[in-house]
Amino acid sequence: MTAITTQEFSGTGTILNPATGAVAGEVHWTDPADVPTIAEGLRKAQREWEQRGAKGRAKALARFAVWLGEHRDEIEELLIKETGKSAVDAAQEVPLLIMILAYVVKTMEKALAPESRPAALPFLAIKKITVHYRPRPVVGIIAPWNYPVANALMDAIGALAAGCAVLLKPSERTPLTAEVLRRGWLESGAPDVLALAQGARDVSEAVIDNADFVQFTGSSATGRKVMERAARRLTPVSLELGGKDPMIVCDDADIELAAHAAVWGAMFNAGQTCVSVERVYVLEPVYDQFVEAVVRDVKALRVGGDGHFGALIDEGQRAVTERHVADAKAKGARVLTGGQVPDGPGSFYPPTVLVDVDHSMACMTEETFGPTLPIMKVGSVVEAIRLANDSEYGLSASVFSRDVERAKDIALQLDCGAVNINDVISNLMCTTAPMGGWKASGIGARFGGADGMRKYCRVETVVAPRTNLGAGGNYYHNSLKALARMNRMMTKMALARPRRTAK
């Protein structure tokens, strides 16, 4: 079962619920030829949006947060229909956006204010140096299907706060909730600086060609294509790409906590999360205890709309999960739970625990994006670190140990953008810190406090005189003697050593 009935992406398309096959809604696909006109309209509206200043924009964003809270039930109902999520998983997205909005509204004025910079040398103190953050007119956001509400707006919020207009291209698999979000933006009284472009690859390319900055979330393979396309116009990009996040369980870990975390981190949203737990390395002394606890927890899970997690987005994604499990079994892995496609409608896959795995298996090296949990026994922390780093990906990781300092030491040896200690996925909530990947997991970062807004800006330095004294000291109209004197003074001051403080 696929979520889309049309293959042409022209005119109107029908979106199906991947869990039931029922019609979730209709979408009007955007003609790629219309994208330049949409972008030009955004550029015109952006000028007034920028001129409102941070205070004015904060008021609009605050009203939008209220609207989201008031319409949460409507958004989640549609979210479940177009993704096949469970109600438990769908309930996470709107609160995350409201949390981000609350933080941004409180901090954006200070984050975007001009900054004074000191003079490098005393004689340059006659100049006043100010760095200004000027918004890029149109930010193109190409969003994924796994979190069509949160991923669509968690990046848009920073861009809108910065004073940019946003051209959002939702995934063609999940285009419906984006329509509701845009409606809410306008109904909350905000200006028309948030537009949609609905469609597939050709529409994405048009967005890239007409944006001044591109934020993309998706697979590493597609991220490379986005970057290549953007390079034609030297358009800057930020890419949040795939992951194969490792979890290390030390021999002194709280095993119950680690097991609960592994199961939730692997199965949440049917495993369709970029920072989900995709492979676990457990120290030998606690391996059996950990596996037993994980299997117990997984067997208690319920799959379905009223269960812990719902369907995979489509049959294609389920086929990837099936292939990884079959490959592991063929190479000697054992399946302790799940591992077989259930009868009945919908692209469901049962929560699956795999043991006796190694890095010859796709389940340990390729991104699965499904509800599987492969667990590998290791003899030492050194081996666990080596295996965790033996990956083309480097998005995030987790380390479990009762000794937090030991866990921190391990964390700083892992090649990834974020590490959670005695927890999983929690870095996604830390909007004051950057969320970015290493290696094939991305370039740049989302969030990051002030940087999460400033990344959508161009930096402009303004150098103004504090006084006319000394202006033009090195101009051509001065005598050679005066120029030589000026050069000697600059060299002497630049090379001068700081005075030692008397003891």
- Catalytic residue set: 240, 274
Cα-trace Rg, the chain? 26
With residue 485 as reference, give the H or E element that holds it. Answer: helix 480-495
Nearest-angstrom CA–CA distance, 61 and 251: 47
Report the C-alpha gap between 219 and 150 in whole angstroms. Answer: 17
Q: Which pairing describes strands 396-400 and 245-249: parallel, antiparallel, or unpaired?
A: parallel
- Whole-angstrom distance, CA of residue 33 vs CA of residue 138: 17
Distance CA 294, CA 97 (A): 31
Q: How many residues does the chain have?
A: 503
The count of C-alpha atoms lying within 13 angstroms of the C-alpha of 80, restricted to the half-sphere facing its C-beta, is 19
- In whole angstroms, what is the distance from residue 285 CA to residue 25 CA? 52
Residue 287 identity (one-letter amino acid): Y
Exposed, middle or buried: residue 463 (CB in 10 Å: 0-12, 13-18, 19+)?
A: exposed
Residues forming a β-bridge with 14 = 26
Q: Is the separation of the CB atoms in 346 and 20 below 8 Å?
A: yes
Q: Tell me which H or E stretch contains 28.
A: strand 23-28
Dihedral of CA 195/201/202/208: which sign?
A: positive
C-alpha separations of 88 from 71, 258, 305 in Å: 17, 21, 8
